[in-house]
């Protein structure tokens, strides 16, 4: 009997419609350190390939309602002031944080029913359209990411990817209400990052 581990299933092929934005007010040295990942023009290409690959890797693990051939999501790099405002508004917590995820498919947000989709974005099954499944938005503080990269003694690029993977998992329904769930989520993030190395 072969005792070697079973290789992971090949990643599914998915399409991603990514809306990427990077705040233009970052310090030049911060943008230089982040490289193309924080470039308002070229960053979308780098993030697109990475996030599309991760969605393909995660496809087999997703619940049926989140399985789709195409997805749409937003990714924004902002400064500490902007993310602190979002953190206060949406989480009622003071100060900046590293990453926020706003899931579009969360059907139990504060006990409210999901928001109806605007015309033209109705479920593809109902219309026959091939609209991508909207996942939501990830917002990362480049300022906080840079501080954390120094604290963890790794590159800003790795910290940005770590935070993006965390945000993506939140958009896909992962959460960490306790230490065990957090450990599982962090382990899944590390597997996503390892697959890119």
Nearest CA to 142 among 62, 17, 25?
25
Find the radius of gyration of the CA atoms of the chain: 17
Domain membership flag for residue 188: yes
Task: Report yes or no: 100 and 170 within 8 Å, Cβ to Cβ.
Answer: no
Q: How confident is the model at residue 40 (pLDDT cuts 50, 70, 90)?
A: confident
Domain membership flag for residue 9: no
Per cent of the chain over pLDDT 90 is: 69
Predicted local distance difference test score (pLDDT) of residue 12: 76
Predicted local distance difference test score (pLDDT) of residue 107: 57
Domain membership flag for residue 48: yes
Domain membership flag for residue 4: no
Domain membership flag for residue 128: yes
* Exposure b/e, 140-168, CB count within 10 A at least 16 = b: bbbbbbbbbbeeeeeebbebbbbbbbbbb
Residue 52 has phi, psi (to 5 degrees) of -60, -40
Domain membership flag for residue 127: yes
Q: How confident is the model at residue 11 (pLDDT cuts 50, 70, 90)?
A: low
Task: Report yes or no: 61 and 7 within 8 Å, Cβ to Cβ.
Answer: no
Domain membership flag for residue 78: yes
3-class DSSP assignment, residue 182 = helix
Domain limits at 67? 15-195
Domain membership flag for residue 67: yes
Predicted local distance difference test score (pLDDT) of residue 129: 53
Say which CATH number the domain at 166 has.
3.40.390.30
Q: How confident is the model at residue 10 (pLDDT cuts 50, 70, 90)?
A: low
Number of domains in the chain: 1
């Amino acid at each position: 009997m072969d005792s070697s581990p079973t290789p992971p299933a090949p990643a599914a092929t998915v399409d991603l419609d990514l809306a990427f934005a990077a705040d233009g007010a970052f310090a030049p040295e911060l943008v230089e350190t982040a490289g193309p990942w924080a470039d308002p023009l070229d960053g979308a290409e780098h993030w697109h390939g990475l996030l599309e690959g991760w969605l393909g890797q995660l496809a087999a693990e997703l619940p049926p309602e989140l399985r789709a051939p195409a997805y749409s999501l937003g990714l924004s790099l902002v400064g500490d002031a902007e993310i602190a405002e979002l953190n206060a508004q949406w989480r009622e917590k003071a100060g900046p944080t590293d990453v926020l995820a706003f899931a579009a498919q969360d059907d139990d947000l504060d006990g409210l029913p999901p928001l109806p989709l605007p015309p033209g974005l109705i479920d593809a099954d109902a219309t026959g359209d091939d609209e991508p499944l909207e996942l939501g938005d990830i917002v990362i503080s480049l300022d906080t990411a840079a501080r954390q990269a120094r604290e963890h003694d790794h590159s800003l690029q790795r910290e940005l990817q770590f935070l993006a993977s965390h945000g993506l998992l939140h958009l896909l329904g992962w959460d960490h209400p306790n230490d065990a769930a957090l450990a599982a989520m962090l382990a899944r993030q590390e597997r996503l990052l390892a697959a890119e190395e």
